[in-house]
Amino acid sequence: MIDQRLLPGDFKILSYDQFQDVAVAIQSMVIRGAPAIGAAAAFGMALAALQSNAETKNELNKDISKAGFLLNQARPTAVNLSWAVQRMINETKGFPGSVSELRQHLLEFAKKIADDDVEINKKMAAFGAALIQDGDHIIHHCNTGALATVDWGTALGVIRTAHEQGKHIHVFVDETRPRLQGARLTAWELEQYGIPYDIITDNAAGHLMRRGLVQKVFFGADRVAANGDVANKIGTYMLALAAYDNGISAYCVTPISTIDFELERGDLIPIEERSQDEVLGLSLLGQPTAPENASAKNPAFDVTPYRLISAWVTEKGVIRPPFRRNLEGIKEG
């Protein structure tokens, strides 16, 4: 894994051979982004199978299920994690081969999940790039590029594809506080691609939209409810509200694996609460930004109601309202 906590200052790759360490890496945000977390969890499950001393498939299944429980606790909001864990567990059911063959099969299936993610991202990018016009100025929230996926990216992958098509675009990069995934990671990726950008504070987005300086808003998703409500990085709701008020299209780019068809609405999505140190640990000119005894609330995600979203971009195409009916159509398809 690329240690995303160190970018943009230091590029470092970490390797893991224990599934417990993969869980810690996910929880501590060495790796982040819903699709990347899903692939990492799949490989964590494969490691659990390789670590296990089980001599029968029944014993191996028990060890894998225990590993899945631990991995699922690492980040509760991103549905891709539990989706990948469950897919790995499902592969053990009724497997006809030996224990050693099952171990190898699980490793190959984890590789398939990773490879599929790349192809899915490229399909979404092609559909989404058609929504971008030459000359567009785009606000992008958090990080949804190659760092957040196995490769290419979701919302940032769309922007990257539009740029490679020769469209002249400019990206306003939300800092995305408190962990600054926009300023640290998205800006770093845009530099690799040669895409012009400006970093903005999260609370500057509404001002730029009201002045007519923005044509599109793009963001990803960590979990989508059956009605189209989306849980995404904190700040997405306020961004979508500002876009809606200014008549600007807000697009959510997400693979179908991120849609939780079992969850009726966004209010039911569990919201991860992270350490208050992420908020209180910020400094300005070497000085703390909060009193010594201050406390903080630090929800990692918020929920944007489906009514504020102009369209979804998935690997099966662009989905427009009514979302519930059209999302169900994708599920059935």
* Per-residue confidence in pLDDT tens, the chain, 333 aa: 999 999 999 999 999 999 999 999 999 999 999 999 999 999 999 999 999 999 999 999 999 999 999 999 999 887 899 999 999 999 998 899 999 999 999 999 999 999 999 999 999 999 999 999 999 999 999 999 999 999 999 999 999 999 999 999 999 999 999 999 999 999 999 999 999 999 999 999 999 999 999 999 999 999 999 999 999 999 999 999 999 999 999 999 999 988 999 999 999 999 999 999 999 998 889 999 999 999 999 999 999 999 999 999 999 999 999 988 887 777 655
Please tell me the predicted confidence (pLDDT) of residue 158: 98
**Strand partners of residue 2:** 13
The reply to whether 26 and 157 lie within a common domain is: no
**Residue that terminates a domain, selected from 91, 122, 153:** 122
CATH code assigned at 189: 3.40.50.10470
Structural domain harbouring 88: 19-122
Q: Is residue 219 part of a domain?
A: yes
Domain boundary among 88, 122, 156: 122
Nearest-angstrom CA–CA distance, 218 and 170? 13
Residue 152, in any domain of the structure: yes
Residues 147 and 95 in one domain: no
Q: Are residues 90 and 159 in the same domain?
A: no
Find all residues with CB under 8 Å of 330, minimum gap 6, and list them: 256, 259, 314, 316, 319
pLDDT of residue 332: 57
| 149 within 8 A of 80, measured Cβ to Cβ | no
Known catalytic residue at 10: no
In a domain, 248, yes or no: yes
| 206 and 66 assigned to the same domain | no
Structure tokens at 140: 């992008």
Question: Which of 70, 100, 122 is a domain's end point?
Answer: 122
Q: Are residues 238 and 277 in the same domain?
A: yes
13 falls within a domain: no
Residues 103 and 188 in one domain: no
- For residue 228, being part of any structural domain is answered with yes
CATH number at residue 87: 1.20.120.420
Extract the tokens encoding 42.
């799949």
Are 201 and 314 part of one and the same domain?
yes
Residue 65 three-state SS: helix
Residue 11 in any domain: the answer is: no
Alpha-carbon distances, residue 176 vs 57, 108, 197, 242 (angstroms) = 45, 36, 15, 16
Q: Does residue 209 sit within a domain?
A: yes
Alpha-helix runs per DSSP H in 271-333: 277-280, 323-332
CA distances for 265 relative to 137, 225, 240, 278, angstroms: 32, 5, 17, 29
Residue 282: what pLDDT? Answer: 87
Same domain, 167 and 144: yes
Cα 122 to Cα 315: distance, rounded to the nearest angstrom: 8
Distance of alpha carbon 229 from alpha carbon 61, whole angstroms: 35
Q: 215 and 294 in one domain?
A: yes
Q: Is residue 1 part of a domain?
A: no
Are 86 and 189 contained in the same domain? no
Count how many domains the chain has: 2
Query: Does 28 share its domain with 70?
Result: yes
Residues 236 and 129 reside in one and the same domain: yes
Residue 333 has what pLDDT? 57
In order of 5, 42, 82, 84, 271, the CA distances from 72 in angstroms are 21, 11, 6, 10, 14
**Catalytic choice (117, 151, 202, 222):** 222
In whole angstroms, how far apart are CA 306 and each of 18, 128, 219, 281? 39, 18, 14, 34
Tokens of 227: 């009605």
